[in-house]
A and B are shown apart, each in its own frame.
Chain A
């Protein structure tokens, strides 16, 4: 079939079924958008895991004079206790990579700086955050060795490892990933069913044309191609809009998240150019297969 003739037939078909073509487009858009969000969230988890696991620290908070921790028994850490903790840590090399000491004043300053926009910092006083050792590990996965060695040691109030906090965050993000991919799956199913219905209806409303095509000996390919092209066109328009939506989301939302997360690396608009071809390819395959399978059933010779 000549291109120009085929294009005009497709245009006629789309105009005749405009509302249903638009609904195919919208449903595809939502499903691709959700799928994209799912992939981006997954990518984000992976990026952050790598980033944070490398920086993971174990904080050993010593007893302050007002510490409520049971191990402190209301007494502040003594200089001897602190020195012995320090030498114990030094002995744990090479598991321990670096040890930083943070005084009460330094801890106070850091908190003030981190939460400068939060009213929380107004109520904080020097001493509220006890002096502590921040321990950086060569193998972040072995944090529990350090934790168990220092928990309950004299002068130690609390040992905190960031792993737990991070794992909670990652769990939340995994739920987001799985949830959006699950919803995306449902929406893809919806779009497949909708495409099939659309084609059935289009085949019915154009049975005169297809009847004549069969009669004069047009090939199956020629008869089916306009239907497939219309479906693919609607689906790919929806996919295109979804990608624009993902881009806008990444472009406007992520910088805000980034500010909260203190410049941790985030997925960004470049990652969208990476997932976009997959989304387009996926929808192309889905729409071609769906329409071809439907046509096999409803447009027989």
Chain B
């Protein structure tokens, strides 16, 4: 589903590579934790998949397509295949829960009929039924992240990228969020989650890819957070 072949990334105004010589293959339907200290290159890895940044060297393949040579006008189509969740939720403060989720479909030109059907389904799936009319500031952090997940998933993308989705949440809420992601994963969605939350990684026992200074130093199935260092 996602493949990195000898990928390096050096940001324009920096000399040290953020990622160097990464080789990584993520199969369809996998759940992968990308772990590592702050600055180790986790976010950069995800940005390359989204083509928010271009690679410096090597090739990134997403769903069989080479991302590096993708022309600008085809980038939106790539992103429709990928849902994204961030640490800071990125909800629209003036829109309520329902509108925030519907927004993702409206800007893709989906019909009102389809939206009215799929948005409530998705909200129910993430456990937000009954809170459709709330504004983001009337929700707890965990609930806000559920809205963000619903928005990322409402279009049923085959891939979900999560960049420290639990970074702003307390441990119990964090675990709930990751359980939700696990459930989404079981519907067949490939999930790549960058995190430095060791509790969660240890509890879920998924594949763990560890980065350090832009290098992969560990890649193991059913791994735990800390064994590589």
Contact = CB atoms under 8 A, between A and B. Distances in A.
A2 B112 contact: yes
Interface string B63-93: 0000000001101111111111000001011
A301 B106 contact: no
A119 interface: no
B107 interface: yes
B151 interface: yes
Given A209-B92, A220-B73, A2 B106 contact: yes
Interface string A204-224: 000011011111111110110
Contacts of B155: 216
Contact of A222 (B73, B81, B93, B107): B107
A211 B90 contact: yes
A213 B90 CA distance: 11
A212 B76 CA distance: 12
A5 interface: yes
Contact of A215 (B84, B93, B109): B84
B12 interface: no
Judged by DSSP, the binding face of A is: helix
B79 A212 contact: no
A275 to B, nearest CB: 38
A1 interface: yes
Interface residues of A, number: 20
A216 B90 contact: no
A227 to B, nearest CB: 14
B106 A5 contact: yes
Interface in B167-224: none
Given A215-B84, A216-B79, A217-B78, A1 B106 contact: yes
A213 B107 CA distance: 7
A218 B108 contact: yes
Bin chain B's interface residue count: 20 to 34
B84 A222 contact: no
B103 interface: yes
A168 B109 CA distance: 63
A2 B113 CA distance: 12
B104 interface: yes
B76 A220 contact: yes
B111 interface: yes
Nearest to B102: A5
Interface in A26-82: none
A186 B152 CA distance: 48
Nearest to B50: A215
A214 B79 contact: yes
Contact of B90 (A208, A220, A222, A301): A208
A212 B80 contact: no
Contacts of A217: 76-82, 108
B72 to A, nearest CB: 6
Interface in B103-126: 103-104, 106-112
A218 B106 CA distance: 9
A212 B84 CA distance: 10
Contacts of A2: 106, 109-112
Contact of B104 (A208, A212, A220, A223): A212
B222 to A, nearest CB: 31
A220 B111 CA distance: 19
Nearest to B106: A5
A215 B155 CA distance: 12
B103 A301 contact: no
A12 B112 CA distance: 19
A18 to B, nearest CB: 16
Interface in A1-33: 1-2, 4-5, 12
6 contacts: A2-B110, A12-B94, A212-B90, A217-B108, A222-B107, A222-B109
Given A2-B109, A218-B76, 20 more contacts: A1-B107, A1-B109, A2-B110, A4-B112, A12-B94, A208-B93, A212-B92, A212-B103, A213-B107, A214-B76, A215-B50, A216-B79, A216-B155, A217-B77, A217-B78, A217-B79, A218-B107, A220-B72, A222-B107, A222-B109
Interface of B: 50, 72-73, 75-84, 90, 92-94, 103-104, 106-112, 151-152, 155
Closest 3 CB pairs of A and B: A217-B80, A217-B79, A218-B107
